[in-house]
Every structure is written in C-alpha cells, then in structure tokens.
Amino acid sequence: MTNNESASGGLQSSHNPGPSSDGARSSAPHRAGDQPFFDPVAYGNGPDDSVSDSSENAAITRHSIEIGGKKIHYTATAGHLVTVDPSSSQPNAKMFYVAFTQDGQKEEARPLTFFYNGGPGSSSVFVLLGSFAPRRIKTSMPDFTPPAPYQMEDNPDSLLDKSDLVFINPVGTGYSAAIAPHKNRDFWGVDQDADSIKQFIKRFLTKNNRWNSPKFLFGESYGTARSCVLAYRLHEDGVDLNGVTLQSSILDYTQSGNPVGALPTAAADAWFHKKLGVAPTPIDLGAFVEEVAQFARTDYLAVLRKFPASDDAIVEKLSEYTGIDRTTLLAWSLDIAAYDSRGNSLFLTTLLKSKGLALGAYDGRVTAIETGIAGQIDPNSGGNDPTMTAVSGVYTTMWNTYLNEQLKFTSNSAFTDLNDQAFQNWDFGHIDPTGAQKGVDQHGNVVLYTAGDLAAVMALNVDLKVLSANGFYDFVTPFYQTIIDLQRMPLVSHQVRENLSARFYPSGHMVYLDGGSRTALKHDLAAMYDSAVNNTAALGRIRALQARKLEKEAKPAQ
C-alpha cells in the first residue's frame, strides 16, 4: 500500500479486546500440541511510544490443508521476535509476525518467503488474509461485501505448497513497537525501515535454522519500494535472495500522477463500465490496453507537451479511450490523472457521475455512491474510497476472529492495521547504492527512487528472479507506469534483465482479492519458484555468494 493508502483508503485501527489478564481464552477448541498465548504488553503506535519488554513469545498451533490434491500439515506461529541494533547488539524493537511452516521439511530444500504490505504504516493483515496464506477471507469483490457474519475458508491458491510463509508487521503496526530507549519514530523512514526488516529476517533465519533455505520477498505497493532497498541491504549483509515479487509497484515517486502512465488504467476502467467510444468494443482487455499504451507514449505524450495547443484528432481519440467528453478533457488540460483541490481524482469521480457513482482508486471496477453527503466526505479521511469500503468490514472482523480463535494469540492492545502517524512522520530520505540521495530533493520534496536499488542487486546477484505483478484497474499504482519505471531502471545487461518478468491481471491494487486473478498469480508465482529453486547451478551460485560475504565478515580485522 502506498502513502495514498495510508491517507485515503485503509482500515482504521481495529481493537482486539482480548481476554482478561487471567490468561488466554478462545471459543475454538485446543488441538493436541497447540500452545495458546496471551500477551499482556501494551503496544503503543505513536511516534514516541516504546515497550520495555524484550521477550520472544508466540502462540503455536497445528493445522492441515489440501492444495492441488496434496494434504499439507503445517504449523502456524504468531508472536514476536526481537531485533537488535547491529552496532551495539542491544535489543531495539519487538516485531510481531505470523509464520506458516510445513512440517517435516529440510532447511535446504524448503523455500522461505517474507511478506509485507506498504503504506508506509501498514500492517501485513491485508496480504495475509487476502493472498496466499493457508486461510483467506471470502469477499464479494468487486461488489460490496455485506456486513457480518463473514466467512474464512481454506485457500486452494495458497503458496504453502511451494514455500513457508512469514508475514511481517513493521514497527508501529500490528503489535510491533520499539524497545526503550528507542522510539517508534526511529524506525519510520525508507532506510531505517529497510534496515529494521533486514534485522528481523536475519533474526528469523537464526532462530529457526533457516540460513540455507532459498529466500524470497513479496511486497505490495510501498512494500515494493521497501523490497528494492531491502534486497540490496540484505545482499550487503550476506543474505542473498532467490526471488522478489513486486505487486502493485511504486518505484519512482516523481512519476506518481503521470498521465501517460495512468491512461491505460483509465481506459481499462472505461472498458469495464462500458463507457468507451471505441467501436466495435474491444473483446481482449490485454490487447486493448496495449493499444492504449502505444497511444499514450506517442500521440498523447506529444499533445500533452504542446498544450494548450491541441490536435482535434488526438483529443477525439483520448475521448474514445476514456469515455470522457472532449470539453471536459480540455478543461482538465487533457490530464487524465488530475485531481481537484480536495484530492479527488477527476477521472474517477466523473466517468459515472451521471449515475451518481465514483470509481475506486484501488480497483476501478468497484463503485460507490458519490451524491449527497457521501460526495462531501473528506477523501483523505480513510472512509471514502469505494474499494477499501467494500472490504474493510470483513478484514477487521475476520482478522480478530482468525488471530484470537484459530491462531490463539490474544492481547489487550489494539492491533494497528494502518498507522497514519507512521506516514505523517515518515523520513523519505534515501541513500541509494551509489551513495546518492534519492529520497528527498533540495527543496524537501519527496522524489523517492528505488528502481536503482533493484538494478544494483540484480547486477550483483545475477540469478535473482523478479516478478512484477500488476492489476489493470489499479489507479493508485498504474500498471503501465510500473512498466515505464522498470524499462528505465539502470540495468544494462540484457542477460540479467531476462530474470525480470511482468504479469498483468484483471484486478486492482490488491490483485489477490479477485478470485481468478489470485489463481493466475499463484500459477505465475509457482513458475518463478520452480525456476529459481530447480536451477541447481543458480542455487549454488547464490549460496556461494552468501557464504563469501559471511566468511569475509567473520575474519578478524587486519
């Protein structure tokens, strides 16, 4: 999730009332081997909050699931690991995670994937409950999911048949907090955050004897920027990855709101809602948006540069592709990604205005009432994006149910789904692998650019596989802008670029909330994992790269 998500479309902090202080209590029966855990620590999510407790405890439960006709027995672990300051080795943060690990597997043969959302300031609850964990929520996407009772189900698209799964909650989210004398704000920044997640991963590898397992990252939205920085910093610490999945990417903040990158998404939205002026109506969405992308990078880019001079034929073509009339487009200076003074997307609030509806920024298939008081709600309040409104209730309810009753972790603290305070206090400064400042310019503007970090780590670890996953209907991180950013990243080697692949799905920002798209993405992920893990020569080179770094660090200074 991006900063837009933290500011204008996420769940509010849900409160987990937990049991009384006499211990854990759950309506679900205890299975043999289950170890429930009640955590009495108070986890504050403010910038100056911290905890004094540095214990590592967890609830442990046993489960099974059938995936692809094969029954998998697995252990779920929900609890905390403690990270340390790399210089002093003193505890600096207590980080909450949920891990799903297949029973009876060998370290070397079993991949390990670390998941996180974005924000910055988002917990991992969204990707955990929606994507590839063994259990998932049931939604009515792209329709509104009605109020409770909600349902969860075993996830036949779970990635557990390919990898163990670890869902990380950065400091200030979930039940994660700094350990005094450190404060939450000490971890709220591009580089600080990446270093914190790096320390968590290293701690997890050590505690669970997983240093020699194939390792993967899966980040969503701002989590893709995090993955680029994190992958490079892990390499510098001797932890080399086998694969990275970038879902709904934002890799160059200077291109946020670029109309050229946004146009194919607008056209996809218009196609879905049958508002195109193109005749006959295109049947193949993928082929259609590719046609629009060609128009965007040529004729549309040219007319934007010449405005207010315009070309009638190009403006007419733009109208046909977007379903917006010529007069309105000219009033917008032809900028399909423009916003009004209150922060509302002009396109998303105009396409279906005659019906009194607005489109979701995270998934343009989703609509919501835009008339009366609904049209006056502050777009930055977190309560008015149609996409998040459609699923916020089921997420909040089922997370508390799943964590308390099935994973058997309970607490009196509030679980922080999204932390606006983290975003408001975020340090966007970023020093890239060359030592250049690529986060904030000399005027204090956010210009965060992390595609260079990705290029650097791919050049150093020439076997690293990267999958870019994108939804056609995502207006927050438009798929075509991601392609532009990846094409422009400073990676010259054509051989290494062959390790990078991009896939597109008829879904939104949270690709996995669409059933068909989730199944298709699982198929693409499985292919990437098989390619990375079954290539024994590549696997050997990655392990040798990691071993050389660790051996070098182990040698005493001369």
In this structure, are 265 and 250 located in the same domain? no
Q: Could you tell me if residue 412 is inside a domain? A: yes
Q: Which tokens go with 490?
A: 């400073």
pLDDT in tens, the chain (558 residues): 454 443 333 333 333 434 333 333 334 455 667 999 999 999 999 999 999 999 999 999 999 999 999 999 999 999 999 999 999 999 999 999 999 999 999 988 899 999 999 999 999 999 999 999 999 987 766 666 666 667 889 999 999 999 999 999 999 999 999 999 999 999 999 999 999 999 999 999 999 999 999 999 999 999 999 999 999 999 999 999 999 999 999 999 999 999 999 999 999 999 999 999 999 999 999 999 999 999 999 999 999 999 999 899 999 999 999 999 999 999 999 999 999 888 889 999 999 999 999 998 999 999 887 654 455 555 444 445 666 666 677 788 888 889 999 999 999 999 999 899 999 999 999 999 999 999 999 999 999 999 999 999 999 999 999 999 999 999 999 999 999 999 999 999 999 999 999 999 999 999 999 999 999 999 999 999 999 998 888 888 888 888 877 666 666 554
Cα separations (Å) of 437 from 190, 191, 447, 450, 542? 12, 11, 9, 11, 29
- One domain for residues 333 and 281: yes
Query: Residue 522: inside a domain, yes or no?
Result: no
Q: Is residue 355 part of a domain?
A: yes
CA–CA gap between residue 61 and residue 73 (Å, rounded): 11
User: Would 523 be classed as within a structural domain?
Assistant: no
- Same domain assignment for residues 372 and 480: no
- For residue 176, give the nearest of 251, 117, 111 by alpha carbon: 117
Q: What is the pLDDT of residue 288?
A: 98
- Structure confidence by residue, pLDDT tens digits, 162-209: 999 999 999 999 999 999 999 999 999 999 999 999 999 999 999 999
Q: Do 180 and 232 lie in a common domain? A: yes
What is the model's pLDDT at position 499? 96
Cβ contacts of residue 367 below 8 Å, gap of 6+?
A: 352, 357, 358, 359, 360, 386
Q: Are 419 and 172 in contact (CB under 8 A)?
A: yes
Please state whether beta strands 112-116 and 58-67 pair in parallel, antiparallel, or not at all (unpaired).
Answer: unpaired
* Three-class secondary structure of residue 92 per DSSP: strand
Domain co-membership, 139 together with 213: yes
Query: Do residues 266 and 322 lie in contact, with contact meaning Cβ atoms separated by under 8 Å?
Result: yes
Structural domain contains residue 62:
yes
Whether 163 and 219 share a structural domain: yes
Please identify, among 388, 405, 431, the residue that sits at the C-terminal boundary of a domain.
388
- Which residues does 266 contact at the CB level (< 8 Å), separation at least 6? 321, 322, 336, 337, 347, 475
Residue 534 forms part of a structural domain: no
Q: What pTM, to 2 d.p., does this model score?
A: 0.91
The H-or-E segment that residue 488 falls in is helix 479-488
Q: Which of 237, 164, 162 is nearest to 203 (CA)?
A: 237
In a domain, 122, yes or no: yes
Q: In terms of domains, do 263 and 218 share one?
A: no
Domain match, 137 and 90 both: yes
Given 388, 412, 434, which residue is the final one in a domain? 388
**Do 473 and 514 form a contact (C-beta atoms < 8 A)?**
no
Cα 221 from Cα 247, distance rounded (Å): 6
**Closest C-alpha among 382, 323, 311 to residue 350:** 323
Q: Which domain CATH number covers 452?
A: 3.40.50.1820
Q: Are residues 24 and 162 in the same domain?
A: yes
Question: Is residue 320 in some structural domain?
Answer: yes
279 and 369 together in one domain: yes
pLDDT at 394: 75
Give the number of domains in the chain: 2
Tokens 């503007």 map to which residue? Answer: 445
Write the DSSP string, 2-36.
Answer: -HHHHHHT-PPPEE-----TT----SSPPPTT-B-
Q: Which among 372, 388, 404 is the end of a domain?
A: 388
Which residues, 6 or more positions from 545, have their beta carbon under 8 angstroms from its beta carbon?
A: 240, 461
Q: Which domain holds residue 272?
A: 259-388
121 shares a domain with 68: yes
> Does 274 lie in the same domain as 178?
no
